Structure 1
């Protein structure tokens, strides 16, 4: 409540100044002015406290300026009218009141102008870097997650296990890692005010694996009083606002679960730049709310407890992408010249971004960037935003330029099964053996998972569909190995003589193709050999000594052109 009272008091500063001037200038009516002003102040304070309690405006200079103007317009005339203070309209502009009004008008214009220049300041506050391309995948990392629509569909069907299920709706799905497994967590939320009034507490949350299309949701009973759908002081947003009325809350609070299975509501907050509401990306914090007691603990985003994956909300990540792409050379350039401007695509699953996890269990938000020019469906690159720190990495190497964007990948999937009305969702760009590849989930009209699609980003005709992640990845790799354009693309890399001992071997097959991938001891490069070039390679096993000629790329992959196997050749 302290935050609400403080905001309400600050909204009356202009009212108090103008009333004090009227009191000072009208000595004969001071008693009347004081009585009327006190009555109006009490009435107005109650009205504004209700407004602040309902809408929770952040204490920022632009917000307080607007609120002070509104309060002054509504209540100062009542003071003048109730006290019968004469107004000299002819000389009003030369009075102290006129000076105050003029100063407020100048302040409004100044804040508006500053907010335009602050666009560049927000861009500068982003922690950012550029890299040519991401690390390639190997057979142990099939980075496919179940689409949120598919997971939500399964959880909705399991809602009947919730006690008093008629009280609740399913809340926001949040991807996170629990006990080493990537899962979606979704709380049950009150469906209406009367459900909240009757129930008081929600029953718990659902958990469903995000990497297994056959997994079923599990309901974990854990009563929560402070939730997104609760009302009055039990609302999470209002609880955070009471503690941090000067911080802007980004998006809706989300559930994250600690190692003991206890849920916590996580709310991203930030202090804006001075004199504006523009975000300062150096000032990102996270408020952690205990849903049982309502206690709030606040941390810098990168210092949050280890179980929290998304200190930075998907909504703030989307804003960060917009500032990074649009205002790289300032506001004027974003409108006229548009030099180096990049527009984030909106194909993501959460606020136009898609959460993904790397092999180390860190969560990132993925977004591909497109040209601001219309009717161009090629990507300029893509960004990954660390979900704990907000650090943005832009991948814009030669391989990532001129490739199709996420919208194009989704359209390819949508056209594959027009009679079934299957659609693509959650497109993510990965580096598969040196080839930018769109990986897309295929869903039916009911949101049920049907297939995976691997689409070569540089060739819209190169698409592989499959029922499982491993099967589709293997089939795609085989087609890549057999594709003449892939071979030609590697001719720019010089042949290198290489020898060593086999450490790991993977043989992948389809109806028409077969290839062998392997690692050498002490070497993390992924070598691929087509059995049509080296038929005996299919008999490779761990411990074999090999000599070969290969085209080794900088991205950690290599194509073998010829090889000799000791004991066989």
Structure 2
């Protein structure tokens, strides 16, 4: 091969090699509707033209006209690229496609009656994400053989066999720790029961070998990119199937409006975190144990399109008749075996009041709108904080519950160290009704009394008297409060008593006979109780 041919091929060879390296690192989807793909193409075009210019100079040392033509061609190419890019953005713009943006969510929404709303204190956990992470870190820190090599991955809330739990996979602590442990993988994951707040490390027979903390071929995104080069991955969600096996739930995006607009989910990939086995499901085939098909922010953005653009783009900007959007912030409410996202809905004027709220199923995108007007979440948080302002506690983003048939915000109140010290309840419609208590039971009791004082009928709690001989006593400190877990002879459940509400439990021992008042609706393995003096 002549030197001239070699020199003319060299820019192409350099561009190909550089393209392979960039692709391996950046992992763009080979998809015309992926912005990352077009950026990748632009970088390759710049590399090729730069290589040709340099090769032209090196060939003769005076190929200025040739170099100039390359630069001119490069300029034309970039101009055409930018023009096409601008056109594609306009084709996705809400101004031209308002009805199509409304259609992203329209068919999934139905209106509900609050009397059918099922989230109550008995079935909704109040442990928030930050507290769950703190508990997980404490559990990880107590495991000497694990904490030196691994760290917590992203914490996810899921429902497992109808129970709400939070799970965090273990990640490698860095490249060298990965190199030391790559044959076995990470040991497993930490699981927190959202009701009992107990955390445990679940050690797997076969470690987690496919995750975002891996390197090279087992890095989760790279592993999937090699299998699905055309797919646009939106997120990687760690979940467990009903047998406790770890999986990555990976929704694959599609852009339904123009080039880059109308983001939605096309199909779902499931990756066994231990074996790497991969399964592809259409949206109507996704297993019921899967929770996080639709990203929370995606659901919220689609509802905002629906609420703001129903009467056209110009109305959303000027007249704003009937325009409504979600409030800032959201929370999760388990329903059955699914995880639902909750957020308030307010008028576009944002006058610190809500006109309703939505619940959206993160697996199916089924969305229920409840027309309940009242206080906006952050106003309710401020109301609870105001009651204990002398203590400086901060409220978590609330859950919306059905308490005595009343829409009620329930939130935890934390100190500067992030520990839960109290709980707050605020009536949504009559937000001057605010109750706080050191325990959930005491907070609920005060709230019920306030409802009575405001002429709101309250159903008397059905309790049962349980008596027996103490067989076993266990203690646990949860968010700064000590709990005694009492097992009575011939009773299957443990009875949980907080020291703050049941100080006499400190004087009781195994073999003593005690009597407890227990809510009849509370029938789990651990039942909240009050000690009868």
Q: State the TM-score, normalizing by the size of structure 1.
A: 0.70
Please give the secondary structure, in 2, of the residue aligned with 1:419.
helix
Please give the secondary structure, in 1, of the residue aligned with 2:234.
strand
Q: Partner residue of 1:124? A: 103
Q: Partner residue of 2:127? A: 146
Please give the secondary structure, in 2, of the residue aligned with 1:124.
helix
Distance (whole Å) between structure 1 residues aligned to residue 421 and residue 443 of structure 2 = 13
Deviation at 1:381, TM superposition (A): 1.9
Does residue 277 of the first structure (1) align with residue 260 of the second (2)?
Answer: yes
Q: Partner residue of 1:42? A: 13
Q: Partner residue of 2:514? A: none
Deviation digits for residues 484-538 of structure 1 (CA, Å, limit 9, x no counterpart)? 3x47xx9xxxxxxxxxxxxx98448xxxxxxxxxxxxxxxxxxxxxxxxxxxxxx
Q: 1:409 to 1:244 in 2, by over 3 A?
A: farther
Q: Mind listing any 5+ residue stretches in structure 2 that lack a counterpart?
A: 57-62, 464-519, 521-533
Distance (whole Å) between structure 1 residues aligned to residue 121 and residue 82 of structure 2 = 63
Please give the secondary structure, in 2, of the residue aligned with 1:163.
helix
Distance (whole Å) between structure 1 residues aligned to residue 4 and residue 321 of structure 2 = 59
Q: Partner residue of 1:265? A: 248
Q: Where in structure 2 are the equivalents of 1:394-543 lying within 5 Å?
A: 394-395=369-370, 397=371, 400-401=372-373, 403-484=374-455, 486=456, 506-507=461-462
Q: Partner residue of 1:67? A: 40
Deviation at 1:176, TM superposition (A): 1.8
Q: Partner residue of 1:538? A: none
User: Does the CA-based 8 Å contact 1:56-1:238 persist in structure 2?
Assistant: yes
User: Does the CA-based 8 Å contact 2:387-2:436 persist in structure 1?
Assistant: no
- 2:216 pairs with one of 232, 242, 249: 232
User: Does the CA-based 8 Å contact 2:426-2:433 persist in structure 1?
Assistant: yes
Q: Partner residue of 2:92? A: 115
Distance (whole Å) between structure 2 residues aligned to residue 327 and residue 185 of structure 1 = 37
Distance (whole Å) between structure 2 residues aligned to residue 70 and residue 365 of structure 1 = 40
Q: Where in structure 2 are the equivalents of 1:302-341 lying within 5 Å?
A: 302-341=284-323
Q: If you compute each CA radius of gyration, which structure gives the higher value, 1 or 2? A: 1
User: Does the CA-based 8 Å contact 2:11-2:55 persist in structure 1?
Assistant: no
User: Does the CA-based 8 Å contact 1:60-1:276 persist in structure 2?
Assistant: no
Deviation at 1:344, TM superposition (A): 2.6
Deviation digits for residues 431-483 of structure 1 (CA, Å, limit 9, x no counterpart)? 43443211112222222223322101123321122344455445434432441
Q: Partner residue of 1:14? A: none
Q: Partner residue of 1:388? A: 363
- 1:355 pairs with one of 325, 329, 332: 332
Q: State the TM-score, normalizing by the size of structure 2.
A: 0.74
Q: Partner residue of 2:353? A: 378
Please give the secondary structure, in 1, of the residue aligned with 2:86.
helix
Distance (whole Å) between structure 2 residues aligned to residue 420 and residue 98 of structure 1 = 64
Deviation digits for residues 348-376 of structure 1 (CA, Å, limit 9, x no counterpart)? 3xxxxx22112x232111111233335x2
Distance (whole Å) between structure 2 residues aligned to residue 55 and residue 417 of structure 1 = 50
Distance (whole Å) between structure 2 residues aligned to residue 56 and residue 456 of structure 1 = 49
Distance (whole Å) between structure 2 residues aligned to residue 57 and residue 424 of structure 1 = 41
Distance (whole Å) between structure 2 residues aligned to residue 268 and residue 287 of structure 1 = 6
Shifted more, 451-460 versus 429-438: the winner is 429-438
Distance (whole Å) between structure 1 residues aligned to residue 449 and residue 220 of structure 2 = 51
Distance (whole Å) between structure 1 residues aligned to residue 158 and residue 446 of structure 2 = 29
Q: Mind listing any 5+ residue stretches in structure 1 that lack a counterpart?
A: 1-30, 349-353, 491-503, 509-541, 543-569
User: Does the CA-based 8 Å contact 2:384-2:435 persist in structure 1?
Assistant: no
Distance (whole Å) between structure 2 residues aligned to residue 167 and residue 327 of structure 1 = 51
Distance (whole Å) between structure 1 residues aligned to residue 173 and residue 440 of structure 2 = 36
Q: Partner residue of 2:153? A: 171
Q: 1:104 to 1:421 in 2, by over 3 A?
A: same
Please give the secondary structure, in 1, of the residue aligned with 2:243.
coil
Q: 1:53 to 1:452 in 2, by over 3 A?
A: same
Q: 1:258 to 1:130 in 2, by over 3 A?
A: closer
Deviation digits for residues 39-94 of structure 1 (CA, Å, limit 9, x no counterpart)? 2222122222222222222334344334333322332243255245945989x99x
